[in-house]
Structure 1
Amino acid sequence: MIKKRLDVGRVALLSGLALICAAMAGTFFLFRSEQRADAAVVQTLQVEERLNSLITRAQETLLGESGFLLAGDERFAARHREARARLFVELAALQRLLAQDPLQRAAAVRLDRCWRERLSYGDVRMGLARSGQIEEARRSIRAVLDRPVTDRCRSIVVAMKAEEERQFDAQRLSADRQATLLSGWLLLCAAAVMAFALRSTLKALSTARNASIARDQLLNANARLHEEAASREAAETQLRQLQKMESIGQLTGGIAHDFNNMLAIVIGSLDLARRRVEKDVKRAQEHIDAAMSGAQRAAQLTSQLLAFGRRQPLAPSAFDASQLLRRLSELLRRTIGGKIDFQVDPAIGLWPVFADVGQLESALVNLCLNARDAMPDGGKLTVGTANVTLDRAYAATHPDVAPGDYVRITVADTGAGMPPEVRDRAFEPFFTTKALGKGTGLGLSQVYGFVKQSGGHVAIDSDLGRGTAVCLYLPRHKGKAAETESWQAGPETRLPGARDSEIILVVDDEDRVRELAVDALRELGYIVLQAPGGEAALALLESQPRVDLLLTDVLMPVMSGPELAARVEAARPEIRQLYMSGYPSDGIVSDGMLTEGVALLPKPFTVAQLAGRVRQVLDEKTAAG
């Protein structure tokens, strides 16, 4: 139906255009006809004017001849020559004017010959007169031998004038007839155009009425659609809220489950240690170690949650991932055990990356442990690096990926693999396929959060029965890579302590945390001052001439740690600064990265971690000095 309407409209439009073109063609033809008629009038007038001028010149020629023969005066002979020359000019001009009319041109040629014949008689007479035979010349005039020739010339002129008049009348009659016909044609075209316009107007009015009806129907349908969309959006909002509450319930349930397990270990172990500390020191030490293990697992869980939420503070640096992999290879080999064929494939000429070395180490350990658990009967585990470029086509199928150069770190195993539904949920927190008590379900979530926070991308390729490959894509860094190294204190490692009676000011609004840090630092040999807040710390600094390090919490009431550090920096720029926090705020973190020049000790921390970080910050001061 729509196609038929389009065809009818197209035919109507073409018909209207054809009528307009026909009217324009008729108008042009009429204009050309009028032009031809006007040209014919001009032609006739020019020919008649030329014939009249020719007759005048002929008369002047004959008068000059007669005057010379009668008077013998050379002045008449001169007039005769001048008039004769003009006569020939007029005859030539007449022939050119009639070049497009064969009949009249032939008459003009005959006229030219006739006048030349007549003038030849005059030439003979004038020759006789000049030779002294005047009487003989006069007898020749009286004999009128040239009269027939003269009459023939006149008759040719009369005939030519009559022919011009006839042609003019015929041309005018034809032009009038054509004008009449074309006027009728134009009237017919005008009537057709008016009829077409009337029909089009009526059709447009009908179309407008139909469009108005359709618009009203569309508005009604649109209103119903908006109502349905609003109802659907409300239902979807309720569904999203239910899903959000379900996710929150799952998340809080998982956190509560794991924290309760860890706190049960801590509380139970400490209670048993307190009961047996005097009776059985060895068993008490075992319970203390168990409490420490539970507390460390709780701290690790908190770190994993922050990583998944992309809220952990990163301390990125430029390094070579291949160099890091070579350094970690022995640790990873010991971690996964001897049943696994472990291989590393570090690429040569690898681009530098800019990321947190410690977090990448933790991510690799997590991935290798997952791969080990997927191969209980043994298999092959390969960790490799490579330079890759992700183009726009790849980015188009992965909306969270920006095209560009990346360093790819691949952890591939030959384990059981994952079905698609498991692979799609692999990064969800607390989702795990391991047996109860074998995992928290936060390992891959931590890896995912760290990589995304570093501006990278994570991809999983898994086939059931063939294995799984997890690829970490970290953006290429344009600068140079630095050497990667980390310090971990073992159980028997001697902790670094104070030198030259160094003084540390500890500031924290939590009394027990502050007292723990103070006791630990004093155990390490430092002279320690303490304050519960920023104002008290500033007052202590005014009375204390020497302070080597400010160790302050980040989130405190009244005056935050960054505000305190800024005032200390302004008043005592020689004092080094170290923050401690369980959840760093925007004061020291920007876009998930530690602000340049900021040193952080994450809570909770062990004495070994406290000792190492404090010593590192103080040694940086010494090196700078």
Structure 2
Amino acid sequence: MAEWRDRTVPAEPGAPAQDGYETRYRALFEAIDDGFCIIEFVEGPEGPLSDYIHIEANSGYARHTGISDIVGKSVYDIAPTEAPAWVRLYRQILDSGQPLRFEREFVDAGRFIEVSAARVEPASLNQVSVLFRDITARKTAEIALRASEAKARDNNLRVSLALAAGAIIGTWFWNIPEDDITIDEAFAKAFGMDAAAVHERISFEKALETVHPEDRPKLRAAVGKVLVEGGDYVNQYRTLRADGAYHWLEANGRVDLDATGAPFLFSGVLVDISQKRALEEERDRANEELRRLNETLEERVSEQTAALLDREDALRQAQKMEAVGQLTGGLAHDFNNLLAAISGSLELLQTRIDEGRHDRLDHYVEVARGATQRAAALTHRLLAFARRQTLEPKVTDPLALVRDLEDLLCRTVGPHIDITVQGGAQAASILIDQNQLESAVLNLCVNARDAMPGGGRLAIRVTDCTVAPPEAEELGVAPGDFVEIAVEDTGSGIAPDLLERVLEPFFTTKPMGQGTGLGLSMVYGFVQQSGGHLVIRSEPGRGTTVALRFPRSGAALPVAEPRRVEAGPVSVAGRTVLVVDDEVLVRMLLVEVVQDLGLTVLEAGNGPDALRILQTTPAVDLLLTDVGLPRGMNGHQLVDAARTLRPDLPVIFVTGYDETAVSGNRSATERTEILTKPVDLAELTRKVRDFLS
């Protein structure tokens, strides 16, 4: 090492003794917080000056690269895979004499570094000085930021597509203080406006010009009322559309107030109800005609009744579209809030990075992640309502599950309600999706809380019961042995005429804006999907009992196993995973997660391409595929074709909807797992390890 120092720091005439100079030089050298080294080019594998040796380095070198004892080592010693690239980079500085500043990933060190390098004069020394620092944290934050921005753009697109679906013809936002209305492209198209109108300022009076003159006074009065009171807004009126005719619309929206109580934003959606009104008029005419029919004309009555039923079905569909429109107005408001949280966090994250303030970056990442999880929970709730949620039934002790929920339920309903959990010591087990059962019990307890605003008692009872044939026939279920989970409250109860409707989708007894009517219908759908049935008993003023009954399971409860500690990548010898997803960003994410496990990854964007890879690459050990794929072959069909080649091929489905399209009639022995989007990366890693380890 002394040999290198003598060549790098020559003694000047009249300088102090070498030992004193060396001491001060070394102190200054080590005082540099950044990493610093001097490299000297020597003969290498490709001839003269094709390798370099580190002849000087401070302690910062080890801090910023994680590589110690660097002096005297060649770049091929510390970075064999990247050595040629580093040699070419620094040789450029040596040959040109021009300093260079750049950022680069130091793959062999597992870090990103920011480098400033310059030639040491005279050029005949063949030396370059390098000053650098570790910027891995900043680069990681930038990568996360870009990924979050891409996800935010994707969420914006999905919300726009959702609003454009079905009977919803457009969205609009009114900046009330500035009297500035903005519309989307669907709105402009529906009203025959030029596409440029999306970017123009439109006043409320200007917008009224498209409304039928007879409906304008009523519309002004309704808007004036909601501007004073705030809250939700629903109104029906006729507007002049692009075809030159007036059509009935329903406007669903909401007025938000600022901190002073003044209205500042009116946001909403427009729903086409022309078909609904026409069907209602046709139904009334059909009813009148039916009443005039002679009772002896049985054949004519039958024909007219069948036609009426068809019209009734069409009317119910139109009414459902109207309800979906009302629900979507609320969803648009919720999604806008979530997107605002994500977008704001990303902007603050970028601002802090630009300012060089890195102390709270993780906070903004967590805020964005939390908003994303809430958005995912919202979509999962809608999928559950449609009875398309992916269930993972497990043998479960229902009493233990409810007892584990007791603390959460107490905090949810509040201290003014007394909760008790009761159950027999020998309660039978059931085969159930535990997460969905927890959600169902929580939903019922929230309903019970709302029925007892002044306080009361809430009892949850878990008991065994047998449904005898007479009761089973009355309920329309199969007789047998069940486990009943009953939620009983002392609240206001439900009137008999409403009790018949409480399981209908979108029906709610709560005021506008305080309930969607999805909760109880979701619970009902889950219970039926799990092979059980639901019973409601209620009396006004005496309370309500909702009982969930599930078939008893003859299987023994699983014995808890010690939690495994995931350590290091799985064995990579001959292990290959094929990732199939038509969404490029999702596929890129899945590929990166699998590669981080040390596995070889092949990828495809559709079923036919994936099948060709399987036919030409027999060494594929695991298939990770989306369900909804383009090019005429979905994920289910791809797996069927793949297992004609490899009957034992493990498969992990990644899906955002409809578990029946994934599981079908497949048995658990077929080595198939299911993950729902957005993907939990930790769960994905665990399932891949389980299949390949």
TM-score, structure 1 normalization: 0.55
Q: Does 1:407 align with 2:483?
A: yes
1:5 matched residue in structure 2: none
In the aligned structure 2, how far is the partner of 1:573 from the partner of 1:236?
Answer: 49
**8 A contact 1:273–1:285 mirrored in 2:** no
TM-superposed CA distance for 1:231, in Å, is 2.3
Q: Does 1:510 align with 2:576?
A: no
TM-superposed CA distance for 1:323, in Å, is 3.0
Say which SS state the counterpart of residue 277 (structure 1) adopts: helix
**8 A contact 1:578–1:614 mirrored in 2:** no
Q: Give the letter for the 1:561 counterpart.
A: G
**8 A contact 2:460–2:485 mirrored in 1:** yes
TM-superposed CA distance for 1:527, in Å, is 5.3
Q: Does 1:554 align with 2:646?
A: no
- Structure 1 residues 237 and 587, CA gap change in structure 2 (3 angstroms): closer
In the aligned structure 2, how far is the partner of 1:431 from the partner of 1:523?
Answer: 48
Match of 1:360 among 437, 461, 474: 437
**8 A contact 1:507–1:534 mirrored in 2:** yes
Q: Give the letter for the 2:349 counterpart.
A: V
- Structure 1 residues 524 and 423, CA gap change in structure 2 (3 angstroms): farther
**Where is the helix percentage greater, Structure 1 or Structure 2?**
1
**8 A contact 2:485–2:549 mirrored in 1:** yes
1:533 matched residue in structure 2: 606
CA shift digits 1:89-125 (9 cap, x unpaired): xxxxxxxxxxxxxxxxxxxxxxxxxxxxxxxxxxxxx
- Which structure 2 residue ranges, 5 or more long, are not aligned? 1-292, 354-358
**8 A contact 2:593–2:685 mirrored in 1:** no
TM-superposed CA distance for 1:316, in Å, is 2.2
2:390 matched residue in structure 1: 313
1:417 matched residue in structure 2: 493
The sequence identity of aligned pairs, in percent, is 37
- Structure 1 residues 257 and 332, CA gap change in structure 2 (3 angstroms): same
CA shift digits 1:275-299 (9 cap, x unpaired): 3332247898777656545544443
1:11 matched residue in structure 2: none
In the aligned structure 2, how far is the partner of 1:504 from the partner of 1:262?
Answer: 38
TM-superposed CA distance for 1:523, in Å, is 6.0
In the aligned structure 1, how far is the partner of 2:558 from the partner of 2:669?
Answer: 16
Q: CA RMSD in A?
A: 3.7
**8 A contact 1:274–1:284 mirrored in 2:** no
Q: Does 1:582 align with 2:656?
A: yes
- Structure 1 residues 322 and 270, CA gap change in structure 2 (3 angstroms): closer
Q: Does 1:243 align with 2:337?
A: no
In the aligned structure 1, how far is the partner of 2:410 from the partner of 2:621?
Answer: 42
- Structure 1 residues 407 and 457, CA gap change in structure 2 (3 angstroms): same
In the aligned structure 1, how far is the partner of 2:615 from the partner of 2:307?
Answer: 61
TM-score, structure 2 normalization: 0.50
In the aligned structure 1, how far is the partner of 2:509 from the partner of 2:652?
Answer: 41
- Structure 1 residues 341 and 369, CA gap change in structure 2 (3 angstroms): same
**8 A contact 2:639–2:651 mirrored in 1:** yes
**8 A contact 1:304–1:445 mirrored in 2:** no
The structure that has the greater radius of gyration is 1
Q: Does 1:450 align with 2:526?
A: yes
In the aligned structure 1, how far is the partner of 2:370 from the partner of 2:510?
Answer: 21
1:257 matched residue in structure 2: 329
In the aligned structure 2, how far is the partner of 1:583 from the partner of 1:460?
Answer: 30
- Structure 1 residues 268 and 319, CA gap change in structure 2 (3 angstroms): closer
Say which SS state the counterpart of residue 578 (structure 1) adopts: strand
1:205 matched residue in structure 2: none
Q: Does 1:381 align with 2:458?
A: yes
Q: Does 1:499 align with 2:499?
A: no
Q: Give the letter for the 1:461 counterpart.
A: R
CA shift digits 1:204-258 (9 cap, x unpaired): xxxxxxxxxxxxxxxx98872221332233234323321231123213431x224
CA shift digits 1:10-66 (9 cap, x unpaired): xxxxxxxxxxxxxxxxxxxxxxxxxxxxxxxxxxxxxxxxxxxxxxxxxxxxxxxxx
State how many pairs are aligned.
Answer: 393
The within-5 A match list for 1:31-46 is: none
2:180 matched residue in structure 1: none
Q: Which moved more, 1:403-412 or 1:389-398?
A: 389-398
Say which SS state the counterpart of residue 478 (structure 2) adopts: coil
Match of 1:610 among 658, 675, 681: 681
TM-superposed CA distance for 1:461, in Å, is 1.6
Q: Give the letter for the 2:486 counterpart.
A: T
1:477 matched residue in structure 2: 553
TM-superposed CA distance for 1:539, in Å, is 4.5
Say which SS state the counterpart of residue 633 (structure 2) adopts: coil
- Which structure 1 residue ranges, 5 or more long, are not aligned? 1-219, 488-493
**Where is the strand percentage greater, Structure 1 or Structure 2?**
2
**8 A contact 2:651–2:673 mirrored in 1:** no
CA shift digits 1:152-178 (9 cap, x unpaired): xxxxxxxxxxxxxxxxxxxxxxxxxxx
Q: Does 1:369 align with 2:441?
A: no
Higher relative contact order (CA 8 A, sep 6+): 1
- Structure 1 residues 620 and 500, CA gap change in structure 2 (3 angstroms): closer
**8 A contact 2:458–2:490 mirrored in 1:** yes
Q: Give the letter for the 2:682 counterpart.
A: A
CA shift digits 1:480-521 (9 cap, x unpaired): 34358999xxxxxx9988434575431112222222333444
- Structure 1 residues 442 and 265, CA gap change in structure 2 (3 angstroms): same
